[in-house]
Amino acid sequence: MKINYSFGVFLYAYLHQIDLSLDRSRWEPLDNLRDFYRSQISPQKVAIYLVDNLGLDVKKLNNLIFIGEESLWDKIKDSLLSSFKRDVILEDDKVYFLCQKLLLLDNFLADGEQVHKLEIEKLRIEFSKLNYGTVKFKLAKKDRLKANNIEHFLQNEILSTIKICEFNKGYF
């Protein structure tokens, strides 16, 4: 599926924020993470945006989807082509998988829902594998470096970070 390059950069930054936030949330009550995401773009909004703008079949979101790792050749090819192309191509299964995981995270962040820390860690690993194993290689290095400075839950206050809204080019 073809995704606009600037949305691909937003997606990388957003998934990086999720990865860092879920990682930091291991030492805090889940309610603190919920409070943080009340001021952020909700995972459900991102999933709905993907469904609406990519014409995804909502029924397919209920299917069990597994994704494999990108081959080394695909990573190298994507990395080399990232400076020339202006669109990001993601396989259908990876987009459906991403939507499923975003909706699952949104359920975890729903008020009153108690979630085991291992479930959150498993979800963090799935986001991490998708982001750093696939999306990362489809973007130019300068865009990845900028997105790596994204604000996140329990961040070090000394660091200078970039708010997610700077990557949001009117998507939400």
Amino acid at 126: E
pLDDT confidence of residue 80:
61
**Which residue shows structure tokens 């409070």?**
35
d(CA 127, CA 149): 17
Residue-wise pLDDT tens digits, 112-170: 778 888 999 999 999 999 999 999 988 988 999 999 988 888 777 777 888 888 888 88
What is the rounded average pLDDT of the residues 59-78? 72
Instruction: Give me 154's structure tokens.
Output: 């329990």
Greater confidence (46 vs 151) lies with: 46
pLDDT of the residue at 6: 92
| Bridge partners, residue 87, by sequence | 4
- Token pair 């990573």 is found at 75
Domain ranges of the chain: 2-166
Q: What is the pLDDT of residue 125?
A: 94
Q: What is the mean pLDDT of the chain?
A: 86
Q: Which pLDDT belongs to residue 11? A: 96
Rounded Cα distance, 35 and 96, in Å? 27
